[in-house]
Each structure stands twice: as structure tokens, then as C-alpha cells.
Amino acid sequence: MTLRRSISFLAGLAMALGAGWVAFPRVIYRSRPQPVNFSHKIHAEKAGAKCEDCHSFRDDGTFAGIPTLDKCAGCHAAPMGTTAAEKSFIDEYVTPNREPQWSAYAGQPENVSFSHAAHVKRAQMTCESCHGNTGSSDTLRPYQVDRISGYSHDIWKTPNMPHGMKMADCVACHRQKGLEHSCLDCHK
Amino acid sequence: MNTTRREVLMFAGGSAVGVLFTPAPWRLITDSALWSENWPGIPAPGHGEIRTRYTNCSLCTAGCAVRARCVGDQPVQLSGVSGHPLTHGALCPFGLAGHHLPYLPSRVKQGPAKEAADAVANGIAKCGAGECVATLDLQPARTASWTYRRAMAALKNGRYVAPSGDSSVAVDLSQARTVLSFGVPVLDGWGTPGNVNTARGGFRLIQIEAVESRTATMADQWLRIRPGSEDALAQALAGTAPIATAADATGLATSEIVALIAQLEHDGPTLVLGSSRLASSGRTVIARREAPVPAEWQKAAPVTALASLPDRSVRVLLIDESAQGEYLPWHTIEKKLVSDNPVIVAFAWSREGYARHANFVLPVGVYPEVAGDIPSAIDSVAATFRIAAPLVSPPADMVKPEQFVAAAAGLATGDTLRERADAIHKAARGSLFTYADAKSQALKDVTADAFWKALNAGACWIDAPDDKAPVAQLAAAGTESRPAEQADLPLAVVVSRELTPGSPILSKLYQESNLRLAPNRVALNPACGLEDGAQAVFETLLGKCHVGVTLDAGVPAGVVQVSGSPAVLDLCAAGVRAKVVRV
């Protein structure tokens, strides 16, 4: 009898561990594909583009974020190559002048104001220090969003986001560099 | 083989233990916390184009120039406008968080406007001989104030009442070598922050005050006197009373007063600031022309002091507390009201002020929701005209006080701000400073339409220099009367006037941190026998209310420092004494 009870206990333990470590991470996130299969690698290698060529700063110093269709259409008004992704992009977005609905992997929630200017220009941080190898990726991963919090998967520490971007991560990095700030610096 | 109940329980137990060693429960807790941070109803900036807009802060008469960073139509960050000739790019902490004000938790959002209008009409009709209809305007010299004055002139028994203060007088800090302040918060909200900071290096500040205020700590010299002895000291400085008498009243040594007189004589020009009176030696207090108004507006009711109204004479009282101004304690107003059913309408954003005593409370927009001009600041040597251009839309059902009062008096009004701007433009004097390009140009070179457009985009008209005439030579400028000793009320009251309303977030921070005296708190000397944070009753001859106690070594024994909240101010008067009893 004792053996059977032990087996029941271990079975429950194993099932919970499996559900918690394998099934839960798949259930907690909802995936949605990006509108276009964009290749950072091709743009960097073949077109020689740098991050700031597309993800630029405005004249007033603020960060423009994901480029708008105007920026893309500047080069891709007509196909430059032969890939199906480019043809699809032109047919579905450039020609009808429809803005693609990109999902920002590193997008912060509504209650946070993150300044790229302060981090990139003033602190001289590289793009890779937060965005990992996104700039050399050949394809865009599906965007994964937490079903409960609504936060992007990349806010947590992942291979694509080596430091994580939760408040604790921001605070830890600032403390490591001897920087102390107030609540309203980020929570405008 | 049957599964027993005990085996099922063991399985459940194993699952419970196992799940603790997975990320699932901890992640669910974190996610729930993050989810709660973004609940619906929590203000969040919308998405949209990032734009820069300009306006002027109307939280006080400093009227600092504001640069607003907006996402879509939502301002997300306010800052000063560098290069501004008056505000010099500065903005106080209240102004920096001004865009939080529409989210004030205590805000009044609905009110019986129709019922109030009917009651006011009935009250006006019932007004008998010797009775009057009065409008109390806490922030006079605005364009809205002119509408009130015109409306009251349109009524045969209308009175326009405003707190003391003369907008035709200004101080020129740049001319002062010494500033002698009788309890005026010179470095903490009195004038225009940028202008005071810019002029600060040029004058020596001597603060005369009973408590160690923020201005006292930052002054070049702080002379601690007994509460209410300002007038005695001022008279000694002016040579109209013996020094020994002042020394006896203030607690200062005779030698200190003699040294102070010598300083004032040698380090002039001197500017003397009392809480409501100004004096000067040299050209530090000057006459200032008011911004022009249309000729037809001159047929307006004169400004009447509340004290000059006969007791029991006000049948209808309309109170505009939508703009910050000097709070008149309710007991001074109440005795002016008729004894049988006076009609009292308060135009207010919260129920904490006169709304507590009004029959009708009508909601008003807050900065930065409503367009309105800001009176010239006390430390602006020339008249100014600037509009607090709205950055966000007000909620529905907000009442515009000046329109309500004009309608009640049967006064037809148009776009009064535009009419005032046209009158200023017609006078063709002064200059227009535009914020986006930080440039000044002569007003005569600007068309009327361009002037109006610029004002609505956050520009500032500054009057041309006038012949600066000194108003007064050094004279008595103290204002407080000395509290009479009363055995049952052992504490002298010192009022610390705080700017309200404040951002909900900043208010929470400073109230919880005690950086500023919260509205429901009093400060006492640590030797008073009460504990920090204790709940107590604050009592004067005018009444009592519940307060929290803050112990502060900057408050001398025998003194209680109170905040400027309406509930507490209603219990205070000149020379009032109090006691604080633990509950």
C-alpha cells in the first residue's frame, strides 16, 4: 500500500512539473505573426543598412521607433529583389498605401516612458545590449504576448533580450552603473 | 485494482508540491500584478504622433510658460520654455505635473446647473432694499473678472468682491539689493520661480518669520520672531515705534534690530514684503499699467472688499474658486449673508473649499482643460497677457463660471478673450514673445489675427516699459496682529499657505513623505508632548477639526503651524490662538 501511495505522490509531482515547465509556458503566451517576413540580415548585409538608418531619431531628438511605410516605400516602391516576401509586402502594403501593423518585441507598457535618446545617445549603449541579435536575424519570430499581463515575451530575459526589460531589470542596470532616478523619470 | 481515496489525495499532494517547483504560480502572481498596473481607468497616454505644444500654466499668477510633449492629443510631459523673458525656462514641481490635474480623485464632475440658475434668478428677484448680489472672485484681474464686474454692474444691486491685492503694483526684484520679507515665501511659491531664481544672486534676503520655513532655511539671514510681532518690528524699522518695544514684542535683541536698521540703510534699494502690503526704498515697488480692455468694458462694477459689505446684506453669492487665489475664511463671508435662505453657488473643481458651504456646487474645468488668461505676476514689472491654451478637452457638463454669471445678470457676452486680445492689439504697444521660436517682435508689426493665433499657441504679450514710479518709501509692512494670551488656548497659530490643487501623484508623495504640510496636518515642536503621527483635534474659538500631528523642530514651542487647507483656514483669523488635543 505504501508503495502505491508513493507512486501516486510521484505521479502527481511529475505531472505538475511537466505541466508547469512544459505546458504552462506554451499556454501563457499567445502568438501572432508579424505582417511581413522581414529580414534584418538581408538589409544589413546586402543593402549595408545600419540600425539607425531605419530606426532613426527625429529632429527633436525623440526616437521614431519602427519605421513607417513611407520609409520602406522609399526603397521598395518597386521590387528590388525576387523574394516572395518583398513581392507580398509591396502588393499588400506599399501599393495600397496600407501601414503594416508591426508588433514591437521590446514594447513597453502604457505606464512607462522609455527614452532611447538617453540610453543610445547619452549612455552610448549599443542596440544589441538590449535587443540581442535581432539586427542579424533572417526572419521575424512570431510576436508572443502574455495572455494575462499583455506584456511581450521579450520583456523577460530571453536569448533575444539578454537583460530583460522589467522594472527590476532597469533598476538593477542603473544601480550597477551608479545611477539613481525617481519614479517619474520613467512613469510620466 | 481500485484507486483509493488516499491515493487520490497523495496524487493531489504530489501535484501541489510539484507545482511549487515550476514557474507557474510565481509567474501568475507577477502577471496578476502587472495586469493590475494597466487596469482600465488608469490614465495612459494614447498612441499617435508626437508633437510639441505650448501653453501657460494657470495654477498660480506666475503663469509660467509651458512646453508640452504630447502623444496624439495627450500631454505626457510638461517643461519650461527656455529663453522666456519672464519665466526663464523654469517650472515649479506643481507645474511640471500639471497635466495630472484632470485626474484628481476629488474632482467634482457633475452639478445641478439648471437648478442653480433658477435659484439665482429667484434670489435676484427677491433681493430687497439693502440687499445685494455678490460675486466673489478669488483671482481678480483676469478677463473673466472683467465679465464678473460687468455682470454685477448690469444688476442694480450687484457687487464684485475680491480678496486684497492690487494688480496695479508690482515689484522689481532686479532693482533690489536687499529683500526684507515678513513671512512671505519668497523662494517657495510667492513670485515667478524663474524670475526669482534669476534675480536671487542680486539681492540679500532677510526672512522675518516665527517658524523655520523653506524660505527661512534658504535666506541669507533668518530672524526668528514671536508669532504676530511683525507689525511691531516693522514700525521700529520705519522709525515710528521705539526699538525697545519691538525687541520686547519680537524676542529679538535690541542690537539685532539696530543692526538690521543699519543693513537696510546701507544695502539699499530695499524691498519690504508683508503678506499683503509692500514697501520700498528706491525703485523696487512700481506702478504697473493694466493690460488694455475694450472701452465698453470700463462700465464695470468697482472692486469691493468683503469687509466693506454690510453684515447680513448678501442675498445671492456666486463664488468662483476655479482659479487659485487668497482663501477668505468662511466665517468672514457667512456674516455677510442674509439670515433667511441665501443662495450660494460655488464654481469649484473639488468639494473641499467653499463647496462645503454652498447650496449648489457647479463643476469647472481644471488646468490644462480650459482657456483663460492669467493675471500679471507680482514680480512682473510690465503687464502681461497670456492664455492658458487647453491641452486636453474637459469632461462633459463642466460649467464656465463667467458665462453662468453673465447669463444670470442678463449680460450678453461674446468671446471675451478675443475681445481683450483685440483691445491689446489696438493699443499697439509692447511686444509678443512666441515660444516655439523663442523670438520677440513688436506688437505693432503683428496683425490682429496673427496675434490671436499666437496667443492660442502659447505666446505672451508683454507691455512696453512704463515710467516706473516708486509707490512708497520704507514703511510699516508687517501684517499680523499679535495673538492675545489665553490660558485655555496656549498655542499661537502660524498659517503655512500651500498651493492646491496639486497633482494626485505628487500630493500623495509629499503628503506621505511630510515634505510639505498636508492639508489635514499641523506641525508642532517635538517638546509638545504628542507623538509624531498622532491624531488630534485642532481647536480655536471659531471651531475645531480633526488633524494629524507632525513634529518639526523648526516650529518653536508655543506655536502650531497649520496648512492652508480651507477646513483649517476656516478656523483661523488674525491673532487666533489654538490648542491641539490628542484623541
Instruction: Give residue-wise pLDDT tens across range A111-134.
Output: 788 889 989 988 899 988 888 888
For B46-50, B287-291, B405-409, which range has the lowest pLDDT when averaged over its residues?
B46-50
How many Cβ pairs closer than 8 A exist between chain A and B? 102
Per DSSP, B531 falls in state P
What pLDDT does residue A111 have? 76
What pLDDT does residue A15 have? 95
Q: Provide, rounded to the nearest whole percent, the portion of chain B with pLDDT above 90.
A: 62
What pLDDT does residue A62 have? 80
Q: Are strands B314-320 and B460-462 parallel, antiparallel or unpaired?
A: unpaired
Least Cα separation, residue B71 to chain A (angstroms) = 11
Separation CA A146–CA B488 (nearest Å): 65
Cβ neighbour number for residue A177 with a 10 Å cutoff = 8
The residues, any chain, with a CB within 8 Å of residue B8's CB and separated by 6 or more, are A8
What pLDDT does residue B424 have? 97
Q: Which residues of B512-526 are buried (b: 16+ CB within 10 A; e: fewer)?
A: eebebbbbbbbbbbe
The residues, any chain, with a CB within 8 Å of residue B554's CB and separated by 6 or more, are B211, B212, B213, B216, B217, B523
pLDDT for B56 beyond 90 = yes
Torsion of CA B459, B464, B469, B470, to 10 degrees: 30
Could you tell me how far CA B131 lies from the centroid of its own chain?
31
pLDDT for B141 beyond 60 = yes
Specify whether the CB–CB gap between A168 and A186 falls below 8 A. Answer: no
The residues, any chain, with a CB within 8 Å of residue A4's CB and separated by 6 or more, are B7
Comparing CB atoms, the residue among A9, A60, A188 nearest residue B77 is A188
**Cβ of B77 and A146 within 8 Å?**
no
pLDDT for B174 beyond 50 = yes
Residue B505 forms contact with A (CB below 8 Å): yes
User: Closest Cα to residue B521, out of B478, B562, B463?
Assistant: B562
pLDDT for B476 beyond 50 = no
Least Cα separation, residue A62 to chain B (angstroms) = 9
pLDDT for A151 beyond 60 = yes
Question: Contacts of residue B22 in chain A, CB cutoff 8 Å?
Answer: 16-17, 19-21, 24
Question: Contacts of residue B6 in chain A, CB cutoff 8 Å?
Answer: 5
ipTM over 0.90: no
For A103-112, B218-227, B275-284, B369-378, which range has the lowest pLDDT when averaged over its residues?
B275-284
Q: Tell me the one-letter amino acid at B580.
A: V
What pLDDT does residue B519 have? 79
**Cβ of A148 and B34 within 8 Å?**
yes
User: For residue range B86-100, what is the model confidence (pLDDT) as tens digits?
Assistant: 999 999 988 999 998
Question: Contacts of residue B17 in chain A, CB cutoff 8 Å?
Answer: 9, 12-13, 16
What pLDDT does residue B496 have? 80
Among A4, A8, A108, A115, the residue to mutate for chain B (most B Cβ within 10 A): A8
What pLDDT does residue B573 have? 76
For B217-221, B530-534, B571-575, which range has the lowest pLDDT when averaged over its residues?
B571-575
pLDDT for B286 beyond 80 = yes
Averaged pLDDT for residues B37-61: 81
The residues, any chain, with a CB within 8 Å of residue B557's CB and separated by 6 or more, are B525, B527, B528
Q: Which residue of A has its CA nearest to B40?
A: A110
Least Cα separation, residue A67 to chain B (angstroms) = 13
Q: Are strands B343-348 and B360-363 parallel, antiparallel or unpaired?
A: parallel
Give the end-to-end CA distance of chain B in Å, rounded to a whole number. Answer: 71
**Cβ of A148 and B32 within 8 Å?**
yes
Confidence band of A11 (pLDDT split at 50, 70, 90): very high
What pLDDT does residue B238 have? 85
**Cβ of A24 and B12 within 8 Å?**
no
Cα dist from B155 to A25, B218, B399, whole Å = 74, 49, 21
Separation CA B506–CA B508 (nearest Å): 5
Q: Average model confidence (pLDDT) for chain B?
A: 89
Least Cα separation, residue B177 to chain A (angstroms) = 37
Q: Tell me the one-letter amino acid at B573.
A: A
Which is more confident, A155 or B483? A155
Comparing CB atoms, the residue among A4, A58, A110 nearest residue B38 is A110
Q: Tell me the one-letter amino acid at B562.
A: V
Q: Which residue of B has its CA nearest to A68?
A: B49
What pLDDT does residue B370 have? 93
What 3 state SS string does B282-332 have? Answer: CCCEEECCCCCCCHHHHCCCCEECHHHCCCCCEEEEEEECCCCCCCCCHHH
Question: Contacts of residue A150 in chain B, CB cutoff 8 Å?
Answer: 34-35, 38
The residues, any chain, with a CB within 8 Å of residue B447's CB and separated by 6 or more, are none
Q: Which residue of A has its CA nearest to B39?
A: A149
Specify whether the CB–CB gap between A44 and A135 falls below 8 A. Answer: yes
Q: Residue holding cell 501657460?
A: B56
**Cβ of B18 and A11 within 8 Å?**
no
pLDDT for B578 beyond 70 = yes
Strands annotated E in A111-179: 143-146
What pLDDT does residue B501 have? 62
Confidence band of B469 (pLDDT split at 50, 70, 90): low
Cell matching residue B227? 508669532
Comparing CB atoms, the residue among A9, A58, A111 nearest residue B10 is A9
Confidence band of B21 (pLDDT split at 50, 70, 90): very high
Confidence band of B281 (pLDDT split at 50, 70, 90): low
For B441, what's the count of Cα atoms within 13 Å in the CB-facing half-sphere? 13
Confidence band of B288 (pLDDT split at 50, 70, 90): confident
Separation CA A33–CA A35 (nearest Å): 6
Starting at the earlier edge strand, list the strands of the sheet with B303-304: B303-304, B158-161, B132-137, B314-320, B343-348, B360-363
Residue B52 forms contact with A (CB below 8 Å): yes
Cell matching residue A57? 531619431
Question: Contacts of residue A10 in chain B, CB cutoff 8 Å?
Answer: 14
User: For residue range A51-85, what is the model confidence (pLDDT) as tens digits?
Assistant: 988 998 887 778 888 999 998 998 998 888 888 88
Confidence band of B518 (pLDDT split at 50, 70, 90): confident
Could you tell me how far CA B304 lies from the centroid of its own chain?
21
What pLDDT does residue B474 have? 45
Among A184, A186, A187, the residue to mutate for chain B (most B Cβ within 10 A): A184
Q: Provide, rounded to the nearest whole percent, the portion of chain A with pLDDT above 70.
A: 99
For A51-55, B143-147, B157-161, B503-507, which range has the lowest pLDDT when averaged over its residues?
B503-507
Q: Where are the domains of chain B?
A: 7-37, 122-164+299-462, 491-582
Q: Which residue of B has its CA nearest to A109?
A: B38
Comparing CB atoms, the residue among B6, B17, B35 nearest residue A13 is B17
Cβ neighbour number for residue B309 with a 10 Å cutoff = 18
Comparing CB atoms, the residue among B8, B37, B77 nearest residue A111 is B37
Averaged pLDDT for residues B142-158: 95
Question: Contacts of residue B98 in chain A, CB cutoff 8 Å?
Answer: none
Confidence band of B444 (pLDDT split at 50, 70, 90): very high
Among B1, B3, B15, the residue to mutate for chain A (most A Cβ within 10 A): B15
pLDDT for A31 beyond 80 = yes
pLDDT for B103 beyond 90 = no
For B10-14, B126-130, B513-517, which range has the lowest pLDDT when averaged over its residues?
B513-517
Comparing CB atoms, the residue among B14, B23, B44 nearest residue A11 is B14
User: Closest Cα to residue B373, out of B316, B455, B299, B436?
Assistant: B455
Per DSSP, B175 falls in state G
The CATH number fitting domain B491-582, selected from 3.40.50.970, 3.40.190.10, 2.40.40.20, 3.30.470.20: 2.40.40.20
Q: Which residues of A touch B (CB under 8 A)?
A: 4-6, 8-17, 19-21, 24-25, 28, 58, 60, 62, 109-111, 113, 146, 148-151, 184, 188
pLDDT for A178 beyond 90 = no
Q: Are strands B278-281 and B285-287 parallel, antiparallel or unpaired?
A: unpaired
Specify whether the CB–CB gap between B136 and B145 falls below 8 A. Answer: no
**Cβ of A5 and B6 within 8 Å?**
yes
Confidence band of B165 (pLDDT split at 50, 70, 90): low
pLDDT for B242 beyond 60 = yes
Residue B40 forms contact with A (CB below 8 Å): no
What pLDDT does residue B282 have? 62
Greatest pairwise CA separation for chain A in angstroms: 77
User: For residue range B343-399, what is the model confidence (pLDDT) as tens digits?
Assistant: 999 999 988 899 999 999 999 999 999 999 999 999 999 999 999 999 999 999 899
Question: Contacts of residue B44 in chain A, CB cutoff 8 Å?
Answer: 110-111
Question: Contacts of residue B505 in chain A, CB cutoff 8 Å?
Answer: 184
